[in-house]
Structure formats: structure tokens, C-alpha cells
């Protein structure tokens, strides 16, 4: 199961049609529907396929696994990892777990909000970046930590946030960006 769960990236999803994506989800459901505790892994894989969790996918998961839709929605709403709105090409998660929080996680988050011009849970207009908060990636010794897609950036300094972002979409750091 872990191998499939790992495939949460969105690479190539722009090219596939919705039918193709739903067919891929059908395969996942078919493979896991008899296994106990399949809901969370299947949701992770569904998010990997679609980039987020659209209603059509969630209803398919509920029907396919024989779970009430309310339970599927409850699990999706419980974990900040899951998103029901489309995300940008790059997903930034700022850790606000205890260690990151005391070592300036909030300042990192504020810097990102200012730099990107979006709030938590939002996506930039050019669909390059989405911003979310998370609770602990298990890298507390490297606090404060953020992840961008599947890469962990450690000891992030608010003042140098541009340099981190530049690695992903140099154009996003243009006009509004400051580099003190």
C-alpha cells in the first residue's frame, strides 16, 4: 500500500481527461475496497490522481468502499492534508507544530502570505502556489520547517523566503517581492 500512497504528486495530471482520472481512481478502489482501513490511503491516492479531492471523486470513494458520504467528508475535513479545492502547481505547507512554532513558524507563514499575496488555504492567481499549514513533519530538530511539494526546507528564514520560492517559480517573485 505504501508504494501507491507515495504517488501523491500531480505530475502529468494536466494532460489526463477527467474520465481517465476517474478510471484511475476506479482501479485504486477496486484494489483496496476489501481491505480494512482503506479509506485514508485511498483518499491520499485520489488526491494524488486529481491534485485535490473533487466531489465526484469523493462520492466514488464512498460508494466504492461502502462508506457513508458523511464519514468520507468527515475524514477529509479532519486532516489538513486533504483539500477539496484545486491547488496550485506548487503546494507549500508551513509547519506550525510546537517546535516550529516556537522557532518562528508563524513569522515564516506571515512572510509567505505577504510574498504570495494569499491567505492560508488559498492559491495564487497564476495557480503557481497554494499555501497551507500543517502539524509536524517529524523534522523538529530542523525547525522551522516548510515543505514545498514533497521537498522539505529546513531552518527557513522569513527574510530569505524569496530565495526558496525562486527555486520553484522565479516569475512569482517579481514585482511585489522584496529581498532585504
| Sites of contact with other proteins (CB under 8 A) | 59, 62-63, 67-74, 77-78, 84
- Closer CB to other proteins, 7 or 59, in the complex: 59
- Closer CB to other proteins, 38 or 72, in the complex: 72
- Closer CB to other proteins, 120 or 142, in the complex: 120
- Closer CB to other proteins, 18 or 71, in the complex: 71
**For residue 144, is the peptide bond before it cis, meaning its omega torsion is within 30 degrees of 0?**
yes
Q: How far is the CB of 83 from other proteins (least distance, A)?
A: 13
CA distance 74 to 54: 15
Q: How far is the CB of 67 from other proteins (least distance, A)?
A: 8
DSSP the chain: -HHHHH----TTTTTS-HHHHHHHHHHHHHHHTTSTT-HHHHHHHHHHHHSS--HHHHHHHHHHHT--HHHHHHHHHH-TT--SS---SEEEEEE-SHHHHHTTHHHHHHHHHHHHT--TT-B-TTSSEEEEEES--S-GGG-S-EEETTEEE-S--GGGHHHHHHTT-GGGGSTT----
Q: How far is the CB of 101 from other proteins (least distance, A)?
A: 16
At 145, list the grid cell: 520547517
Q: How far is the CB of 51 from other proteins (least distance, A)?
A: 19
Q: How far is the CB of 118 from other proteins (least distance, A)?
A: 21
- Closer CB to other proteins, 62 or 99, in the complex: 62
Amino acid at each position: 500500500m505504501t508504494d501507491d500512497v507515495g504517488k501523491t504528486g500531480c505530475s502529468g495530471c494536466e494532460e489526463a481527461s477527467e474520465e481517465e482520472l476517474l478510471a484511475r481512481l476506479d482501479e485504486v478502489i477496486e484494489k483496496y475496497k476489501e481491505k480494512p482501513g482503506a479509506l485514508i490511503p485511498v483518499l491520499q491516492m485520489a488526491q494524488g490522481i486529481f491534485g485535490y479531492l473533487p466531489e465526484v471523486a469523493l462520492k466514488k470513494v464512498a460508494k466504492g468502499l461502502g462508506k457513508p458520504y458523511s464519514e468520507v467528508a468527515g475524514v477529509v475535513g479532519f486532516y489538513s492534508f486533504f483539500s477539496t479545492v484545486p491547488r496550485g502547481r506548487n503546494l507549500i505547507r508551513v509547519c506550525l507544530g510546537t517546535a516550529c512554532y516556537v522557532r518562528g513558524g508563524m513569522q515564516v507563514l506571515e512572510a509567505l502570505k505577504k510574498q504570495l499575496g494569499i491567505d492560508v488555504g488559498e492559491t495564487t492567481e497564476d495557480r503557481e502556489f497554494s499555501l497551507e499549514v500543517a502539524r509536524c513533519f517529524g523534522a523538529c530538530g530542523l525547525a522551522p520547517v516548510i515543505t514545498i511539494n514533497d521537498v522539505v526546507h529546513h531552518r527557513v528564514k522569513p527574510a530569505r523566503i524569496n530565495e526558496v520560492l525562486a527555486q520553484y517559480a522565479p516569475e512569482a517573485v517579481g514585482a511585489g517581492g522584496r529581498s532585504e
